[in-house]
Amino acid sequence: AQSVTQLDSQVPVFEEAPVELRCNYSSSVSVYLFWYVQYPNQGLQLLLKYLSGSTLVKGINGFEAEFNKSQTSFHLRKPSVHISDTAEYFCAVSHAGNNRKLIWGLGTSLAVNP
Partner 1 sequence: SQTIHQWPATLVQPVGSPLSLECTVEGTSNPNLYWYRQAAGRGLQLLFYSVGIGQISSEVPQNLSASRPQDRQFILSSKKLLLSDSGFYLCAWNGLQTYEQYFGPGTRLTVT
Q: Which of 17, 51, 56, 83 binds partner 1 (CB under 8 A)?
A: 51
Burial class (CB in 10 A: 0-12, 13-18, 19+), 5: middle
Q: Which of 2, 5, 66, 104 binds partner 1 (CB under 8 A)?
A: 104
3-state secondary structure of 114: coil
Cα angle 25, 60, 96 (rounded to 5 degrees) comes to: 40
Q: Which of 2, 59, 77, 102 binds partner 1 (CB under 8 A)?
A: 102
We find the least distance from the C-beta atom of residue 72 to partner 1, in angstroms, to be 18
Q: How far, in Å, are 55, 98, 106 from residue 1 at the CA level?
A: 23, 11, 17
We find the least distance from the C-beta atom of residue 30 to partner 1, in angstroms, to be 12
Residues that bind partner 1 (CB under 8 A): 32, 34, 36, 41-46, 49, 51, 88, 90, 94, 99-102, 104, 106-107
